[in-house]
Structure 1
Amino acid sequence: MVDVDALLAAVTSGYAAEHLPAWPDPWGGASPDDAAYSRCTEPERYEILFRRTAAWLTELARVPGLRVEPVGEVGALSQGELPVARGWRVSSDRPGTLPLLVLERDEPMPVVTFALAEAEVVLERQPDCGCDACDGGSETMLKAVDELFVEVLTSPVVVVRGEDGRWEARWSRMTAGAGGSPGPPRPAMELVAACRRIAAGEEVDLPRGARVWVSQPWLGPAPGEGVASPT
C-alpha cells in the first residue's frame, strides 16, 4: 500500500529543492481595499502552481498502477476564450476509478485546472481568481493543489451536474457542496446526501437529465465502477 503522507512529503521536498518564490497573505485577515479587485500584481508568480503540479506528476508516475500521460489535443479542451496550453491525464488501474485531467493555461495568467474525466467537470482551479484582493498567499494555493491530489487518491469523489451544466453537487470525504445559477432544483443538502449514497453504491433518485461521475479511491478499496453517463 502506498503511503500518501510519504508521497506528499516527497512532493514537498522536490518542490522545495527548486527554491521558488513564496509570499504571505497580503491582507493578513483584513478586508482588501476596493482597488485590489481590479488589480493583478505580478501574475507570472502564479507559475509556481505549474511547478507544484509537476512535482505531483513526477511522484505519481512512480506509483505502481498509476499512469501519467500527456493530452495530445489540448485545443479540444479549450473553453471559450481560455485556451489550454498543456494537459495531462492521470489515471489508476483500480476498478471504479476515473481519470484526473490536469490542464494548464498561460493566458491571461498562469492557471491550473483539475477536472474529473471531462474538462467541464472541474474539481479545483488555482488561482481561483487571480486578482490581488483574492490573493491568500502562495501557501494557500499550494495547499489547495495538494489537497486535491490527496482527495482523489484517498476518497470516493462523486459529481452530479444538471443537464444544462448550470448546477452541480459534489461529495467526497474532504469536501461537499452544491450550487449553481440558477440553483439546484432540490435542496443542496439533499443532493449532497445523494452523492454520498452514490459513492456507497446505492440507487438514488436524481433530477431528470442529471449526469453522474463516480470515482473510487485510487489507492484504496474500490468497489463499484466509474460512471460518466446520463442518468
Structure 2
Amino acid sequence: MYVRPELPATVFVDAAGEPIPYGDRWGIDGPPERTYSRTRHPERFEPLIAVSRALVDHLEATYDVDVEVTEGLPDDAPDTIRDFEHGQVRVVRTTTVVPRHGLCAPLVIAETSFPSVLVAMGAAGLERAPACGCDACDESLEASAEELENLIFAVAKGRYQERYSWTEGIEIVVGADQGARWSRTPRQAADKERVDALKQSQRLRHGERWMPWPARRDDAAGTWDDAVDESRRRSRLAARSGHEAAVEQAIERIRRRLRAS
C-alpha cells in the first residue's frame, strides 16, 4: 500500500515577517499583479521529489513494470519533457516506468531544478506538480502532492485516456476517485510532436483505450503468458468484428430507406 512521505511543516514568512498561508492567500479581489510569474519560496515544493520517488517505489513493487532511472534527460526522453527546459530550469533526474503489457500507458517522471515534478503520460500527456508554482497561483505543497498522486494512479488504474482526431484535436481525460478532468487541444494549436506521437500510439493500439496496469508477477519471466495475450487479442478482434458488423447493418438499413423513398 502506498503511504505518502511525511511532508515537513515548514513555515515561510513574507517581507513583514508574517507566516504565508499558502493555498489561502488571496481574497475575492484575487492576487496582486506583481505576484504573477514570481515565486518567492520555490523551495517549499522540494518535498514533492520524495513523494514522486515513493510513488515510483510503489509502482515497481505493485505492478508488472520495468523502471529505469537516468540522471538528467535520457536520449529518448519525450519531446514534451525536453521542451520544458528553459532558462535556469533543468531536468536533473528522469524515471521511466514502462508496463510490460503493450496496451498500458507508460510514465516518464522528471525532477526539475525549480523544484517540481513533470509527468509525461501515455503518448501525449504532460502535467506538472505544482501546476504553475508562481505566487499568484498560490499552490500549497499538500495540494500539489495530492495532484501528483492522482496523476500517477490515474495512469496505473487505466483512468488516463487520450485520443487524437482530425475534428477534435487532442482530447485527454484524467480520472480520479473524486471525478475526472477533461481537456482538449484543437488540432491547429497542438504541437506536431504530440500529434505524431499520439497518432502512432493509436495505430499500434488499433485505437483501443489504455488498460489498467497488470499486477506484479514474481515468476522468472516477469511477463504476460502467451496464452493470456492470445486470448486478449482474440477478444479484441471479436469485439472489433462485431462492431464492424453492426456498422454494416446500419449502413444497409439506411440504403433500404433511401431506395424506398
Matched position secondary structure for 1:41? coil
Kindly tell me: are residues 42 and 73 of structure 1, through their superposed partners in 2, closer, same or farther at Cα, counting changes over 3 Å? closer
Query: Counterpart in 1 of 2:128?
Result: 125
1:102·1:115 contact (CA, 8 Å) conserved in 2? yes
Alpha-carbon distance, 1:124 to partner: 1.8
Task: Please give the alpha-carbon distance, in whole angstroms, between the structure 2 residues aligned to 1:19 and 1:170.
Answer: 33
Kindly tell me: are residues 208 and 154 of structure 1, through their superposed partners in 2, closer, same or farther at Cα, counting changes over 3 Å? closer
Kindly tell me: are residues 19 and 97 of structure 1, through their superposed partners in 2, closer, same or farther at Cα, counting changes over 3 Å? same
Matched position secondary structure for 1:85? strand
Q: Where is the helix percentage greater, Structure 1 or Structure 2?
A: 2
Alignment RMSD = 3.5
> What code does the residue aligned with 2:163 have?
V
1:102 is aligned to 2:109 = yes
Kindly tell me: are residues 149 and 84 of structure 1, through their superposed partners in 2, closer, same or farther at Cα, counting changes over 3 Å? same
Which aligned runs of 4 or more in structure 1 are off by greater than 4 angstroms?
207-210, 222-225
> What code does the residue aligned with 1:27 have?
R
Specify every segment of 5 or more residues in structure 2 that has no aligned partner in the other structure, as ranges: 12-20, 189-194, 203-208, 216-228, 237-261
Task: Please give the alpha-carbon distance, in whole angstroms, between the structure 2 residues aligned to 1:136 and 1:152.
Answer: 23
Task: Please give the alpha-carbon distance, in whole angstroms, between the structure 2 residues aligned to 1:114 and 1:159.
Answer: 15
Deviates more, 1:74-83 or 1:130-139: 74-83
> What is the aligned counterpart of 2:93 among 81, 86, 89?
86
2:72·2:93 contact (CA, 8 Å) conserved in 1? no
**Number of residue pairs matched by the alignment:** 184
Task: Please give the alpha-carbon distance, in whole angstroms, between the structure 2 residues aligned to 1:172 and 1:126.
Answer: 14
Specify every segment of 5 or more residues in structure 1 that has no aligned partner in the other structure, as ranges: 1-5, 186-206, 226-231
TM-score, reference length from structure 1: 0.65
> What is the aligned counterpart of 2:116 among 89, 111, 120?
111
Query: Counterpart in 2 of 1:65?
Result: 64
1:170·1:177 contact (CA, 8 Å) conserved in 2? yes
Deviates more, 1:71-80 or 1:169-178: 71-80
- In the TM superposition, 1:98-177 aligns within 5 A as 98-106=105-113, 109-118=114-123, 121-161=124-164, 167-174=169-176, 175-177=180-182
Query: Counterpart in 2 of 1:56?
Result: 55
TM-score, reference length from structure 2: 0.58
